[in-house]
Amino acid sequence: MQMLSTTLLFHSPAFICRPLLPNLAVRTFNIRKKNMLLCCSKPKDEKEWHTLGLFDEDNLRRRCFLFILVSSSIFPATAFGKTKSPYDERRLLEQNRRIQASNNAPNDFPNFIRKGFEVKVVTSDDYIKCDSGLIYLDIEVGKGECPKAGQQVTFHYVGYNESGRRIDSTYLQGAPAKIRMATNSLVPGFEEGIRDMRPGGKRRIIIPPELGPPVGPSTFFSSKQFEVFDVELLSVKDCRRRTIGFYSDVVCD
Amino acid residing at 74: I
Phi, psi of 243, deg, nearest 5:
-125, 125
Please tell me the predicted confidence (pLDDT) of residue 157: 97
The pLDDT-based confidence of 28 (bands split at 50, 70, 90) is very low
d(CA 44, CA 2) in angstroms, rounded, equals: 10
**Strand pairing category for 135-140 and 128-129:** antiparallel
Integer Cα distance of 101 and 46 in angstroms: 78
3-state secondary structure of 41: strand
Residue 189 has pLDDT above 80, yes or no: yes
pLDDT reported for residue 115: 82
Closest among 28, 12, 113, 3 to 71, alpha carbons compared: 12
CA 128 to chain centre: 23
What pTM was estimated for this model as a whole?
0.63
Buried b (16+ CB within 10 A) or exposed e, 180-208: bbeeeebbebbbbbbeebbbebbbbbbbb
Which of residues 69 and 158 earns the better pLDDT score?
158
pLDDT at res. 203: 98
State how far the Cα of 151 lies from the Cα of 186, in Å rounded to an integer.
13
3-state helix, strand, coil in the chain (%, to 5): 25, 35, 45
Highest mean pLDDT among 40-44, 97-101, 239-243: 97-101
Mean of the pLDDT values across residues 153-162? 96
Predicted local distance difference test score (pLDDT) of residue 207: 95
pLDDT of 175: 96
Which domains can be identified in the chain, with CATH numbers?
A: 125-241 (3.10.50.40)
Mean pLDDT of 124-152: 95
Q: What are the tens digits of pLDDT across the range 65-120?
A: 666 655 555 444 443 444 546 558 889 999 999 999 999 999 999 999 988 778 89
In whole angstroms, give the CA distance from residue 150 to residue 181.
Answer: 5
- The pLDDT of residue 45: 55
Direct distance between the N- and C-terminal alpha carbons of the chain, in angstroms, rounded to an integer: 113
Q: What is the DSSP string of 121-170?
A: EE--TT-EE-TTS-EEEEEE---SPPP-TT-EEEEEEEEE-TT--EEEEH
What local confidence, expressed as pLDDT, does residue 12 receive? 40
Widest Cα–Cα separation across the chain: 124
